[in-house]
Amino acid sequence: APGTALLQVQGLTSAYGPVRALDGVTLDAEAGRITAVLGANGAGKTTLLRTISGLVRPQAGKVLLDGEDITRSAVEAMVSKGMAHVPEGRGVIAELTVDENLRVGSLFRGKVGKDEYDRVYDIFPRIAERRNNAAHTLSGGERQMLVIGRALLAQPRILLLDEPSLGLAPRIVAQIFGLLRQLVDREGLSVLLVEQNARSALSVADVGIVLNLGKVVVTDQARTLMADEGLRHAYLGF
Ligand code: ATP
């Protein structure tokens, strides 16, 4: 139900050798909400998503999905439990078509029905138009839609999105965030969105969390953070 903590992160600490990238991070992502994690380059945002999804193993702390401790689960198990991670960089196979990229991306979740592909194409009509085009011909925005669509084929309950706005024109960012908002509002999807583009992220998110040097500085309603000029200037760059 909206408002319950679907994903809970408790005291998460991760390091790369001597570099501590996350230092005791505690946060919740509620069901049916968009939670935005903001902060400057190097704040630890990518490491947070990589630790939640099991790509980086934490030194301390826990990750719970629906109350179940998944901290040491295998990555495939996390996917089957309802978590999908869209890493930064929009990785697609350039020579394959849009349609082939979706099919390849769904291989590791068993049988995906035609309805599930159709649903992705309904959500992203732009991608449907380009389904037979090679992925290298897509614009950045189209690629971002493709990787989000590919993640949705796993029918996640929570989507972890790393910097989807990077390098995109503001109009395209607004379009993609608007589509995400619809998925959340209509289908109850939950989103943990990591962004350096704090202004755009706060305009679509319900809750905002500011990270700095691997620590949570503040957690509050997105609109409250948006109204806090001192915080914006200190941590959010606008
Ligand atoms: P960005 O927007 O650049 O991705 P970020 O907020 O996502 O920034 P992280 O990428 O999580 O931050 O990086 C957090 C810290 O960990 C930084 O000090 C970074 O230099 C360091 N770091 C990240 N990845 C590695 C790695 N593979 N090896 C060593 N240090 C790393």
Closest approach atom of ligand 1 to CA 48: 11
Confidence (pLDDT) at 109: 63
Mean pLDDT of the chain: 94
pLDDT, tens digit, 9 for 90 and up, residues 8-34: 999 999 999 999 999 999 999 999 999
DSSP secondary structure letter of residue 18: T
46: CA distance to ligand 1 center in Å? 7
Q: Is the CB of 43 under 6 A from ligand 1?
A: yes
pLDDT, tens digit, 9 for 90 and up, residues 172-222: 999 999 999 999 999 999 999 999 999 999 999 999 999 999 999 999 999
47: CA distance to ligand 1 center in Å? 6
Rounded CA separation 180/165 (Å): 12
Burial class (CB in 10 A: 0-12, 13-18, 19+), 155: middle
Is the pLDDT score of 107 beyond 70?
no
**Among 46, 57, 165, 236, which is best to mutate for testing ligand 1, by the most ligand atoms less than 8 A from CB?**
46
Nearest CA to ligand 1 atom 11: 44
Please report, as a single letter, which amino acid is at residue 181: R
Confidence (pLDDT) at 59: 97
Q: Which helix (H) or strand (E) holds 14?
A: strand 5-16
103 strand-pairing partners: none
Kindly list the strands in the beta sheet with 207-212, ordered across the sheet, starting from the edge strand earlier in the chain.
83-86, 158-162, 190-195, 34-38, 207-212, 215-221
Q: pLDDT band at 114, cuts 50/70/90?
A: confident
Nearest CA to ligand 1 atom 2: 41
Pair 199, 175: CB distance under 8 Å? no
Nearest CA to ligand 1 atom 9: 44
Is the pLDDT score of 70 beyond 70?
yes
15: CA distance to ligand 1 center in Å? 10
Q: What is the mean pLDDT of residues 90-112?
A: 83
Rounded CA separation 101/140 (Å): 15
Confidence (pLDDT) at 79: 85
Report the percentage of the chain scoring pLDDT > 70.
Answer: 96
Cα angle 34-1-207, degrees, rounded to a multiple of 5: 25
Confidence (pLDDT) at 89: 85
**Among 38, 45, 56, which is best to mutate for testing ligand 1, by the most ligand atoms less than 8 A from CB?**
45
Closest approach atom of ligand 1 to CA 196: 2
Count of helix runs (H) and strand runs (E) in the chain: 10, 10
Task: Please give the model's pTM, rounded to 2 decimal places.
Answer: 0.95
Q: What is the mean pLDDT of residues 220-230?
A: 97
Is the pLDDT score of 1 beyond 80?
no
Report the percentage of the chain scoring pLDDT > 90.
Answer: 85
Q: What is the mean pLDDT of residues 97-119?
A: 82
Q: What is the mean pLDDT of residues 100-115?
A: 77
Is the pLDDT score of 105 beyond 80?
no
Question: Any idea which residue has 């943990």 for tokens?
Answer: 192
Q: Which helix (H) or strand (E) holds 100?
A: helix 98-105
Left if phi > 0, otherwise alpha if psi is -120 to 50, otherwise beta: which for 149? alpha
Closest approach atom of ligand 1 to CA 22: 14
Burial class (CB in 10 A: 0-12, 13-18, 19+), 84: buried
Question: Any idea which residue has 């948006």 for tokens?
Answer: 226
Nearest CA to ligand 1 atom 17: 42
Rounded CA separation 16/165 (Å): 26
Q: What is the mean pLDDT of residues 120-135?
A: 96
